[in-house]
Amino acid sequence: MENVTDRTSNPFDMRPPCERFVPGYGDANADFHVVGDHPGVHGGLDTGVPFTNDAGRRLQAALADAGLLTTTGVEPEPTKTYFSYLHMCAPDDGEPTPSSYDDLERFFDAELRAIAAHVLLPVGARATAHVLETYTAQAWKTDIEMEALHGSELRGSGFLVLPIKDPAEWDDTHHDRLVEALDTLRSTDFRREADLGRFSAGNDPYLVR
C-alpha cells in the first residue's frame, strides 16, 4: 500500500479531542516510524512538530547522521521517516493520566497502521513498553531497561522494533550507538514484505506488508 499525499504535517487529518496537540509529521510512506511519548516530554507545542525541543534536536542529529533525515531543525526534512506521539495532546498538568493515554491510543494506532512502516523506533521507556506490548509477541513482565535495549533490534508482529533511550538521558556514547545500529539495519533487507505477484497474471511483483 502507498499513501497518496504530499502533506508532511498531519497527513491523515487527525482530530483528537483536545485544543492543543502535536500531530504526526514526516513521510506518509515511511520505512521508519519514530514513536515518542507526549509533547510535554519530547517537544513540539511551540513548533507543531514532534521532537523539536532540546532532547528532540539531539535525536534529530543522530537520525540525520544515520540517513533518516536530510535536514534537522524546526521543520526537519525526513527521508522515509515519520514522527508521532502516543499521546498527541498537550497534557493539562504536566503528565497525561492513564485514562487519557487510553483514550488517545486509538489515534496513535490508526496512524501507525496507516503509515505501515517496516521499523518502529520507540523513544523512551513508556513508548517502548507500549510498542513491545502491543506490536510484538514478546511478553515484557519486568521493567523496561532502556540502557540495554538502546539500539537493539527486536522482532515484532510484522514490524522490526529498535528502541531508543530517551535523548534527555543520553551520554556521549548513545548518539554513536544509535547511528551504528541504524547504519547496520539499513545495510540489510529490513523490509517486511511478501510478494503476491505469483498469484496474479503477468510477471510484475505485488508487494504487501
Q: 179 - beta bridge partners?
A: none
On whether residue 12 sits in a domain, the answer given is no
On whether residue 30 sits in a domain, the answer given is yes
On whether residue 57 sits in a domain, the answer given is yes
On whether residue 19 sits in a domain, the answer given is no
Number of structural domains found in the chain? 1
List, for the chain, all residue ranges whose pLDDT scores fall below the cut of 50. 193-200, 204-209
What's the CATH code of the domain at 176? 3.40.470.10
Task: Return d(Cα 198, Cα 152) in angstroms, integer.
Answer: 34
Q: Please enumerate in sequence order all residues whose Cβ is within 8 A of that of 129, keeping only pairs 6 or more positions apart, or say none.
A: 140, 144
Residue 51 confidence (pLDDT): 97
Q: Which of the 8 DSSP states describes residue 153? A: -
Q: pLDDT tens digits, residue range 31-87?
A: 999 999 999 999 999 999 999 999 999 999 999 999 999 999 999 999 999 999 999
> Whole domain around residue 202: which residue ranges?
25-208
On whether residue 107 sits in a domain, the answer given is yes
On whether residue 55 sits in a domain, the answer given is yes
On whether residue 4 sits in a domain, the answer given is no
**C-alpha cell at position 64:** 540525520
| Helix axis angle, 54-65 to 174-186, nearest 10° | 40
**C-alpha cell at position 88:** 498527541
Residue 1 confidence (pLDDT): 56
